[in-house]
Each structure stands twice: as C-alpha cells, then as structure tokens.
Amino acid sequence: MISPIQNTDQRPLILDQKPESWDLAQAPDYRRAQLIDWIYQKRANTFAEMLNLPKDLRSHLESHYRLKGLELVKGQGSGDTTRKFLFQLHHGDYIESVLIPASPALYGERSDRHTLCLSTQVGCAYGCKFCASGLDGWKRNLSSGEIYSQIIEVERHSGKKINNLVFMGMGEPLANFENLMAAIDVINADWGLHIGARHITISTSGLVPRIKDLADQPRQLRLAISLHGASNEVRSIIMPVNKKYPLEELLEACDYFQAKKKKMITFEYILIAGINDQLEQARLLVRHARHLHAKINLIPYNNVEGLTWDRPNRQTIQDFASILKNGHIPCTVRLEKGHDIDAACGQLRLKQNKPEPAALALQI
C-alpha cells in the first residue's frame, strides 16, 4: 500500500484545465502541443521526463501544477479476469474503478473490447438500497481530471487499451454534470483519449432534469437507467430518488432523450430476492421497454457486506428473463463478473476506510 497522500500541496491539477488555459510562462504555442502529447499520448508520470521541453519550462510546470490526479492503492484480480482498482485522490479520499473484459461466448462481443466502469463522486448521496457506494456517505464530486485519470491509470497498470466506458461506478454521474461533461470533452477529443461518444454510456438513478440536459448535448452518448423496479411501489423501496422523480416522470424524460438522440436506452434491473423479482414486475417491465424500444440488462444481485438482501435462485431468474424474451424485449442476463472480488460499487473503498485484519494483496 502506498503512503497516505499529504494535502499540503495546493498546486492545481493540470488535467482539470483546458490546454489553452495552461500557464506555459510565455513559451511558444508549439510547446503546448508537445505538452499535450506528453500528457495524453505518452502518459508521462512527471514533468521532468518531458525531455523535449526546455528545463526552465519543466521547472515552471512542476512549480505550478500537479500532473497526476490519483494513485493506485490496491487492486483485486478475479477468476473471470475482471479487475478492480482502488485509487487514492490528492486529499486522501478513495474511489474505485472496475475493468471488465468482453465475454464473446455469451454476448458475441469483440474479444479486444475492454470496458472500464468509472466513478464520478466520492461516495453517493442517493442511497440506492442495493449499493455499497452510499454506505459511507457522500463527500464530494470528482473534478474532470480525476474522472478521466481513472482511464489513464487503469491503462497504465493493466496494460489494456480501454475502448468502452460506463459511468456506473461510485456516485451519481448526472449529479456531477458539469465536471462529467468536461471530462468527456477530453475523453472524446482526438488530442485527448480519443474514445468515441458511441462507446460511452452514462448511467443514472433517475435525475429527470439532467436526463433532459443530457439529451440536449450534441454528443451521441448512450443512456442507461438504473430502474430496478417496474412500479412506483417497488421502485421506491429500492431507489429513494423515485419519491422525487416518480416512474411516470422518469419514463417521460426517457421519451425525450430517445426523441432527441434516436438511440436505444438500456434499463438496468438488479434482481433482488423477494423485493423486485415477482413476475408481475417482469410484465410491467415488458410494457415500459416496449414503449421506449429499450433493452434490458438483468443483473442478479451482487451480495454487499452490510446489506441483508439476497440474490434470487436460478429458476426465478430464468422465469423473469423468459417473460421479457417472450415479450420480444432485447434482454441479457449479465454474466456474474467480479463476484469473487467485491466488484459491487463501493465495497473496496469501505474496506479501505475500515481496514480488516486480512489485507488485500495487489493482484494486477
């Protein structure tokens, strides 16, 4: 484990600023292009290694900026090759990212597809009842540089090229809308991380106004809704946000998004034994998905330490999925990736904040 990061360093993170606003001490413009190349293409760890920049400029940058947004603390490797990363931010907070490989045998995906699940906040304020992210409370939004630094550092430590992103980690992405959009600017840019908008999915618990704001963005981003209940009664048990933005308003916002983007929406539906796995919920889900031409990801509940809910048995999962498929709704039952490495959002952070005697070894 690395030593705790000290918070006495008040230099801003250079990744939080647009390249045109960087202070280069009146250096000519071509130096800016060289710095962009060092940061985003060569992935330099320090300003000192940027040897084609003059020494006085490197010293100026070192005195004015921090280069790295986060540091790897530990990782966990899964038997299914899923990898989980715990990062420490500059002032000592922890966040998590999960690297998920393709599953060609199940989904027919390209074998070179590597999906990264990113965090957008330290903790979460929305209190979804199945999720570990909010168990330790919400602390703050991530900056734009901290958000996309997860991609840079996971690629550095895994040796894998990330080509698909899901903002489905710790936090509610649309509650950090401005920083999220600023991060996507860099992620999407040819000079930045060069990941196309069609390979970026934003998941939300149901912030209706922000779904409409996202629809008004010019990028062709994908939208996933953490639905988890097909009626207000059931969804409100699992998703407290449903009391502010009930299902009718959420579905209307999805209508708006689809009308603007002409893109299929995904409903994420975590199946929890005795809570939302009744077949009547499946029938209602067919109705909602058919109206929106949505597809559905069924996700058997991933057990979370500190929560008492359970995963349905295999027969219940199959019966639920059969109703969706018989209703001609595109549906997948998600392969249980990372079940052996606390892959549910926030679990590794909770263990770091409350250490256990058996420390986790770095396995990446």
Strand order in the sheet with 295-300: 70-77, 83-89, 94-101, 114-117, 164-167, 200-204, 222-226, 266-271, 295-300, 331-333
Task: List all residues 6 or more positions away from 13 whose beta carbon is below 8 Å from its beta carbon.
Answer: 65, 66, 67, 69, 90, 143, 145, 146
179 in Cβ contact with 120 (< 8 Å): yes
Q: What residues act catalytically? A: 96, 345
132 in Cβ contact with 125 (< 8 Å): no
**What is the 8-class DSSP label of residue 195?**
-
Task: Return phi, psi of residue 149, to 5°.
Answer: -60, -25
Closest CA to 260 of 213, 220, 215, 208: 215
Measured distance between the N- and C-terminal CA atoms of the chain, rounded to whole angstroms: 13
User: Which ranges constitute the DSSP H helices of 3-125?
Assistant: 29-36, 55-64, 104-107
Residue found under tokens 């060609």: 104
140 in Cβ contact with 176 (< 8 Å): no
Reading the block at residue 69, the tokens are: 């947004």
60 in Cβ contact with 26 (< 8 Å): no
Cα torsion for 184, 186, 188, 189, to the nearest 10°? 150
Instruction: State the helix-helix crossing angle for 314-326 and 279-292, rounded to 10 degrees.
Output: 40
Task: List all residues 6 or more positions away from 278 whose beta carbon is below 8 Å from its beta carbon.
Answer: none
Residue 128 C-alpha from the chain's centroid: 16
* Three-class secondary structure of residue 243 per DSSP: helix
